[in-house]
């Protein structure tokens, strides 16, 4: 079964529907690539997926450890390169709403680095990941 259905809406915009849930994501070409920049660009969603995935696997491990970091945030910065146009760097700065011991910090940070998106990104994409704990 397909995961999603993407429709080109015209004017460099797409609508993607997650078929299981019905949730929708709109993408728009960025200002620096002939677009309006009124929504996430496709490459924005790739960079954002890294932080979302890292939070997800950390959340699974945190639940197993009996800790909760709800309310934590991540700032994601995507850097583009030219010729060919591609993502060259992704920077993620986590603001963790938790003050665990050193062992739990290490476990959660190591777990984050095992997320499927992290493993799926091309090795040439530089990744800078910073964890700021409460």
The CATH number for 55's domain is: 3.30.300.20
User: Which pLDDT does position 76 carry in this prediction?
Assistant: 98
Q: Check whether residue 47 and residue 27 sit in a common domain.
A: no
- Could you read off the pLDDT of 70-126 as tens digits, one per residue? 999 999 999 999 999 999 999 999 999 999 999 999 999 999 999 999 999 999 999
- 11 and 52, same domain (yes or no): no
At 64, is the pLDDT very low, low, confident or very high (cuts 50, 70, 90)? very high
The pLDDT assigned to 21 comes to 98
Q: What is the pTM of this model?
A: 0.94
Instruction: Provide DSSP, 34-49.
Output: TS---S--HHHHHHHH
pLDDT tens per residue, range 13-32: 999 999 999 999 999 999 99
| Residues 124 and 67 both lie in one domain | yes
pLDDT at 12: 97
Pairing of strands 73-81, 86-96: antiparallel
Task: Provide the domain limits for residue 64.
Answer: 42-133
- Say whether both 74 and 92 belong to one domain: yes
What CA–CA distance (Å, rounded) separates 105 from 128? Answer: 17
Q: What dihedral do alpha carbons 88, 86, 72, 20 form, nearest 10°?
A: -150
Residues 63 and 93 in one domain: yes
């Amino acid at each position: 079964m397909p995961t999603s259905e993407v429709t080109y809406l015209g004017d460099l915009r797409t609508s993607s529907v997650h078929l299981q849930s019905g949730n929708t994501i709109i993408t728009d070409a960025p200002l620096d690539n002939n677009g309006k920049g009124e929504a996430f660009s496709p490459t924005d969603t790739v960079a954002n997926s890294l932080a979302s995935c890292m939070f997800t696997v950390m959340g699974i491990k945190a639940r197993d450890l009996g800790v909760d970091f709800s309310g934590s945030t991540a700032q994601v910065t995507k850097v583009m390169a030219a010729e060919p146009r591609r993502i060259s760097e992704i920077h993620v700065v986590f603001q963790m709403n938790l003050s665990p011991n050193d062992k739990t910090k290490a476990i959660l940070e190591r777990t984050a680095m095992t997320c499927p998106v992290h493993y799926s990104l091309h090795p040439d994409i530089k990744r800078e990941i910073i964890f700021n704990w409460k």
